[in-house]
Amino acid sequence: MSLLEIKNLHVRVDGNEILKGIDLTVNAGEVHSIMGPNGSGKSTLAQVLARRDAYEITDGSVTLDGKDLLAMKPEEAACEGVFLAFQYPVEIPGIGNTYFLRSALNAQRKYRGQEEMDAMDFLPLFREKLALLEMDDKLMSRSLNEGFSGGEKKRNEILQMAILEPKLAILDETDSGLDIDALRIVANGVNSLRNPERAMLVVTHYQRLLNYIVPDFVHVLVDGRIVRSGGKELALELEEKGYSWAEPETAGVGASAAPALRRDGARA
């Protein structure tokens, strides 16, 4: 049984169809990268998997470990092991980072019938992960993401992921906003979490990230459909030739050069 199985997923937002029939299978231990132009539906897919409410699912199914993911509430999906590193993490004033993380971890442990962790047990774990992501203690005494720089927010997402140890980690453009050193650190953090039980869905625009987090598969999402899938070399090709190269003929309205390029690409 695959960890994640998406079949013919159709999703609407405010009456507009954004995802137009996604099929995707992810097995435990695999890292899949999803690339695609702005507005193609990558974040929509990520948020639907994390069970955000704003989306209308008009067709299709998604299972996580064989369970119907679409029937779950966001907190259930989280407790079942879905983690979303947000493209735009929110700021919440007045909530301490450490307190928040421990509450989240305990909510998940409780769900799974594990004992809750007290502050004393939590601290060493927290310290260890902070060190992994080379993050400053001082940042953690501030409110959740409040006043964090763009890069600090992204790093904080990965810190949370490292502590919550999800089954399925979805990273939505975690690389955007990171400087070169931070990118390396974050990628190291992510790589240290790769293991045979865990799968990752890495949404990115840039091949650069995939030099660090090397994917097993790359999928190209254009206008709500996966138009192409391949190995890690697909990302390189995309970088070189642009998305229009990957677009199917039917979607290529107004992109007259695309079909020819696509044929080239297909042979390559």
Ligand X SMILES: Nc1ncnc2c1ncn2[C@@H]1O[C@H](COP(=O)(O)OP(=O)(O)OP(=O)(O)O)[C@@H](O)[C@H]1O
| Residue 208 φ then ψ, to 5° | -50, -45
**Shortest Cβ distance from residue 73 to other proteins (Å)?**
7
Exactly one of 33, 44, 108, 174 binds other proteins (CB under 8 A); that residue is 108
How far, in Å, CA of 65 to CA of 133, rounded?
A: 29
Both tokens assigned to 189: 């953090």
Q: Give the residue among 157, 170, 180, 231 at the shortest CA–CA distance from 202.
A: 170
The pairing of strands 4-13 and 16-26 is antiparallel
Compute CA distances 92 → 21, 130, 142, 198, whole Å: 35, 20, 10, 29
Number of residues that bind Mg ion (CB under 5 A): 3
Least Å from the CB of residue 1 to Mg ion: 29
**Which one of 36-44, 100-108, 206-214, 220-228 is the stretch in contact with Mg ion (CB under 5 A)?**
36-44
- The residue within the footprint of other proteins, chosen from 70, 95, 251, 261 (CB under 8 A), is 95
Q: Are 160 and 129 in contact (CB under 8 A)?
A: no
* Of 19-27, 76-84, 175-183, 251-259: span binding other proteins (CB under 8 A): 76-84
* 154 vs 225, beta carbon nearer other proteins: 154
Q: Least Å distance between CB 203 and ligand X?
A: 7
Phi-psi label, residue 51: left if phi above 0, alpha if psi -120 to 50, beta otherwise: left
**Which residue has the closest beta carbon to Mg ion?**
43
- Shortest distance (Å) from residue 57 CB to ligand X: 14
Binders of other proteins among residues 200 to 229 (CB under 8 A) are: none
Neighbours of 229 (CB within 10 A): 14
Distance in angstroms (rounded) separating the CA atoms of residues 170 and 252: 29
Decide if residue 43 touches Mg ion (CB under 5 A).
Answer: yes
Which CB sits closer to ligand X, 87 or 97?
87
We find the least distance from the C-beta atom of residue 138 to other proteins, in angstroms, to be 18
Footprint (CB under 8 A) of other proteins, residues 54-73: 54, 73
Whether residue 80 contacts residue 167, with contact meaning beta carbons closer than 8 Å, is answered with yes
- Binding stretches for Mg ion (CB under 5 A): 42-43, 87
